[in-house]
Structure 1
Amino acid sequence: MKKWFLLLIFLFGFGKIYANSIFIPMDERQANHLKAYGIAYWILKADQEVKWLVNYQGGSFLMNFTAELETECRVRGVTYEVISSADEVALLKYIADPNLNMDAVNLVKSAKIAVYSPIKISKASFEDTDAVLLVLKYAEIPFDVVYDEEIMRGDLVKYDWLHLHHEDFTGQYGKNLWRISPEDIKAQENIAKKFGFNKNSDLKLEVAKKIKAFCAGGGYLFAMCSGAETIDVALAAEGIDIVPSEFDGDGIDKDAQEKLDFSKTLAFGDFLLELGNESGDRRMRSFSNINSASGKGGFGGWGEDENETYFNLFSFSAKWDIIPALLTQNHEFQIREFMGQTTAFNKKTVKPNVLVMGSSKTSDRYIYGEVGRGQFAFYGGHDPEGRKGFHRTPTDLNIHPHSPGYRLILNNVLFPSARKKKRKT
């Protein structure tokens, strides 16, 4: 009897002995796509590796089996499968087939994440709708908040990944004074004075230059909305006054446009400034024609009628163009367009050495580039699940756990953990 009992124990435990991997599908079967990224980051944070299965079932994940991991998937509501070592070997062999556009990429270390936001120094209630802050919290991915003072002190060396959202590095407070409070402005001006700058625009330029240096030194920069536009506007306008008197007490340089130096920018060139605003018009406005919605009050017109429009993600070779392939992993490849202060990017202003990863007929939405030893990705718009206008209330991601637009953000969060292969495109 004892022998039979031991045999039953062995047979019962046989599956667990050989079921040494957890497979997390990222296609339509996944119950919560966004939280699945949080599981991957959680494993990396514990100094364990994750295999990202590029172009396999929506960009699925493969991890070593542990009881703790299985429990964590259940607690977070993430769909998973326990598979045997034989099934894992067969799966990886299938993905390695040179005739298939798939690859398995090892993620080896969790990126140290920083979000640049004025909530570090003031209430800044408009930041409540920052899509990256929302999705990092929802996916339970830890991050630090930094702002001008931390960057001026040189703290960016502590981080691998930096996010910018609806920022204004030109020093014009977003060109919409109804959005930012007098207290917010005062807090920023105090930092400028602390570091010896007479104008907030001078401080913001120095911050923009340090962010570019962070990227060139090997950091990863992910920017959305006006953050993606204004960092390049500020860099091109170094030493040129482009700030109207209502923001800094003196007028703009009448020759500002002709003096721009596009060699200093990251992603954009040959753009036209949207100057003026001297009349005191406080509507949200564009900074330049980098914004494809320039001249339309900063917004594009997407979603303003019953016919919503979409942009397409491009397909890349998983075995040869691994970087853009990783950054475009998704279960859907047509994504509903959404607005922002910088809604999308004018195709004519995107530099030729910048790779377009997502585009519509009228604009580029999602781009990637390299500077020095680092990389950046810019994503147009404010909130991937936003509808009309500029949302003043946060999106509830419990309603959008499968959002393909938010998945693009989380692709960028995991990307620095990959063992990178040089892009050939």
Structure 2
Amino acid sequence: MRIECIAIGTELLTTRRLDTNSVWLGERLASLGLAFHRKTAVGDSREDLTMLLREALTRSDLIVTTGGLGPTFDDFTKECFAELLGVDLREDVQSREDMLAFYAARQRVPPASNFKQALLPMGAEALRNPVGTAPGVWWQDPPAHPGVRIVMLPGVPREMKRMWEEQVEPRLRALAGAATHTLRMVVAGVPESTLDERTREARQRHGHLDWTILASLTQVELLARGADPAALATARTDFLPVLGEDLVGVGDGNLEDAVLAALKARGETLAVAESVTGGLLASRLTAIPGASEVFLGGATVYSAKAKVALLGLDALRLAQEGTVSEATSRALAEAVRDRLGATWGLGITGNAGPSAEGGAPVGALFIALAGPGGTVAKALTIPGDRLDAQLRGMASALDLLRRATRIG
């Protein structure tokens, strides 16, 4: 099956917003043994969109669009498809009722323009939106294109994901044939190239599986796909000693999930003191349901004044040792652990740029972990831009804690 994704929105062609929808959809398709053969982003231009849709209808069996289903003047995905295929738009009664109920629950009256969202091309079926007002569209065998399926989804990720999981994926599962299973192994503290080299022999032993390595700023994922769950289970057993302590976990979840799970299993707690990461560490932890069982809280102490006022660091010592130093990271970890009565305290400070600060070069970071056995610290030099330094610093701090709290 040839599958094409079209992401619609001028904002996707600038630096304002990334197209994360197609990445997520690609992962969901892979679980069905399917894959995109083409992905395209197009701006809010009727002419450009119509041209792209016309081409897609000639080359793809399944066309998935995201965006352009809203109530405003630049939302015209359905209109372009309808005009191109020579059908009229009709109001879907259920979609109108869903919209009225959505607004009534919020004690609001929908603007007249919103009812545009309830219009569907003749012959198409509405995909109900449980978390928004724009229904999606499932259109099978549109005029003059037998065997083609069109799926139109909102661009809002949480709306798109719910519709796909609950209404689109079940339909596609019947078309996908034999299910494809995935083995996902998450690794931290190891560069992608090192992981590639280390696992080459093991991957060759399991060459009948489809292997992929995905690297991000915070972790590396090693993925194997195949139709036989037993073969994946054998590969998992074979890879455990190869990955060793660098293995964060197998299956769903990421570095922060593993840290919280380990702390919960040990009955321990965590507090954090962040300078260079500006609250990013606490944000990643609190995004996980149940984090409050483990994570007590933290302090974003970006300035020297905040370090003194909120955590009680000594101003003279701070001036002498510098805000970006191993000594300061240790002081942060110990102070926040003591103030919140946590089992563990993480402290992170550094210089993410764009210029040298207090004698510390750009990319210099210091992480410290204070715990029952004392305090350990780690110095890092992270090349790249500001976000690189913050994300990698955050991940390094979590990985330092993960390794200290490993069970077994």
TM-score (normalised: structure 2) = 0.29
Select the structure that is richer in strand: 2
Select the structure that is richer in helix: 2
| Greater relative contact order structure (CA < 8 Å, 6+ sep) | 1
Larger radius of gyration: 2
